[in-house]
Amino acid sequence: MTCLKFESTWKVVVGCRHSDMTDKEKEKIVLIIANKIRSVKDDIEELQELIKPIPLDASIGRISRMDAINNKTINEASLREKRKILQRLEKALERSGDKDFGNCQKCGNEIPFGRLEYMPHVTRCVDCVG
């Protein structure tokens, strides 16, 4: 595998010690992102169904109605969250062709593969989050 980062004399002198993602790993992440996008889109559709106004004549009791309203609030919050994640996933997919994909956008260090695998939409390493 070729190092995209240190192609200069540096590589010749000390060898490439830069541990960029392998192409295989990258492929895997891209696949994970694509799958996540699909499942997040499904979730969004489902949530959009769930937050439809509750018809007043629905044959549910008062308590159930309150439950339904509470759930609606939770569902709306999670819908917002999912939309945010979807945006970030789509951005991650666009970025997946970049040389520095998989690197922290703040410190430039490599984001551990396990972290990307679990949350492919992240753009920062654990140290730089927050």
Backbone φ and ψ for 4, nearest 5 degrees, come out as: -85, -15
Q: How far is the CB of 108 from Zn ion (least distance, A)?
A: 7
Q: From CA 97, how far away is CA 13, in angstroms rounded?
A: 28
Coil/strand/helix, residue 101: coil
Q: How far is the CB of 116 from Zn ion (least distance, A)?
A: 13
- Please name which of 37, 26, 41, 14 lies closest in space to residue 98, comparing C-alpha atoms: 26
Q: From CA 8, how far away is CA 10, in angstroms rounded?
A: 5
- Please name which of 36, 130, 124 lies closest in space to residue 87, comparing C-alpha atoms: 36
Residue 40 or 104: the one with the smaller Cβ distance to Zn ion is: 104
Q: How far is the CB of 117 from Zn ion (least distance, A)?
A: 17
Residue 15 or 108: the one with the smaller Cβ distance to Zn ion is: 108
Residue 40 or 120: the one with the smaller Cβ distance to Zn ion is: 120
Q: How far is the CB of 124 from Zn ion (least distance, A)?
A: 5
What is the binding site for Zn ion (CB under 5 A)?
104, 106-107, 125, 128
**What distances in angstroms separate CA 110 from CA 4, 19, 70, one per listed residue?**
13, 8, 41
